[in-house]
Amino acid sequence: MNRSRYAIAAAVLAAALLLWFLWSRQHEKSPAADGGNIAAGPASSKSPAATAPEQTTVYAHNLELRKGANFRIYARWLRGTMEPVRSDRPPSLDDEESFLFRIDRGLIHANMGDVETFLNTGVVTQSPLKNIHLSGEGQSLKISGTMRRMLVPLPVEILGTLSPAPNGRIHLAVTKINVLKVPVKALMGGLKIEVNDIVGTKPAPGIEVSNNDLYLDTTKLLPPPHIRGQMSGIIVQLPDIVVTYGDTTTDEDAELAQWHNFLRLRGGTVEFGKLTMRDADLTLIDASGDGWFDLDLATYQQQVVKGYSRMTPENGLEIFMPGFGHEMPSGSVSLETLRNRERPLPQVAPKK
């Protein structure tokens, strides 16, 4: 009888041990064995989509942006994004080649004198056309200069019409080429001068000749910081060439021109100096009191060290700085003040 009891107990114990062994093996294979970490389970047949980086929004008012030593643009106002050129690094204010400004809406001026200086001293100096001068009105543009033909210097005039082209380019539809102010065919018969003769056999990057017309890609033609965007209009309003983006109106331009001068970056990641700002909230504010905020990103730190900065309640950073070549006067500015040029800048606390 005792032996039967011992045999039954041993059988029950063996069965319990067997069940425990099987359960533990199964438990080791279960995803829940890792504290509920489902990543330990079988991989999904579909990889999760990569999260797109947050964009950095750009706002600017009355911004004179230097692009190299011989060119500037005047952004009366603009709205757009600051986009990295490379996917493996964020935009950096210390590297103008690391980003571009893609404009959705806005109004930008380029001074005709600056354009002439750039054409005569910049990347298009290899063009056979020298001593370039620009004039025009509305969509009409006249390019005057001198080129050599058969060892003889010839005054040349190119007449054309400006218009926006796809992919953010400028189209100059050439209507006439004159030599010595006389049509070429009437003057020299078989001697024919075309656009290719004027821009050269190897035009500068950003200049394309098609059907005797010119297409200009300012991203390739002009130095950084580069600007992209589909233009909605381009006209000559002496002394400037005026480019519009998006659906702008005259009333809107007049209202926004009353804002103070600043450049604001919101969202995304932006590097500047030794700092990296995530979910960026950075505003560069002109405290010079000038009509335009003269900003040279190639040397902007020299402007920053002449000014001062402060944190905002939203953990943003405002940098109050003078325009290029100016010293820092007393004063700071709030966001509300930015919206009204007539409101004076607040005074800075006196130095100790």
pLDDT of residue 317: 96
Cβ contacts of 94 within 8 Å, gap of 6 or more: 271, 272, 273, 301
Look-up: residue for tokens 């080791």? 28
Distance CA(50)–CA(305), nearest Å, equals: 39
Distance CA(186)–CA(294), nearest Å, equals: 49
List 292's β-bridge partners, or say none: none
Distance CA(280)–CA(128), nearest Å, equals: 47
Distance CA(255)–CA(340), nearest Å, equals: 9
State CA 348 to chain mean position distance: 32
Which of 103, 102, 93 has its CA nearest to residue 269?
A: 93
* Whole-number CA gyration radius for the chain: 33
Q: What is the pLDDT along the chain (352 residues), one digit of tens a residue?
A: 555 555 555 555 555 555 555 555 555 544 433 333 333 333 334 444 444 558 999 999 999 999 888 889 999 999 999 999 999 999 999 999 999 999 999 999 999 999 999 888 866 667 888 899 999 999 999 999 998 776 778 899 999 999 999 999 999 999 999 887 665 544 544 557 788 888 887 788 889 998 889 999 999 888 899 999 999 999 999 999 999 999 877 667 777 778 889 999 999 999 999 999 999 999 999 988 788 999 999 989 989 988 889 999 999 999 999 888 877 654 455 667 778 877 766 544 334 3
User: Domain-by-domain residue ranges, the chain?
Assistant: 57-110+244-338, 113-223+235-240
Q: In 10 A of CB 286, how many CB atoms? A: 28
Distance CA(232)–CA(243), nearest Å, equals: 8
pLDDT of residue 14: 58
pLDDT of residue 350: 36
For 197, the 3-state DSSP assignment is helix
Distance CA(287)–CA(319), nearest Å, equals: 10
List 271's β-bridge partners, or say none: 92, 276
pLDDT of residue 305: 87
pLDDT of residue 70: 81
Distance CA(22)–CA(18), nearest Å, equals: 6
pTM over 0.85: no
Distance CA(149)–CA(133), nearest Å, equals: 19
Scanning the chain, the segments in alpha helix (DSSP H) are: 2-29, 112-121, 184-188, 195-199, 218-221, 250-256, 300-304, 335-338
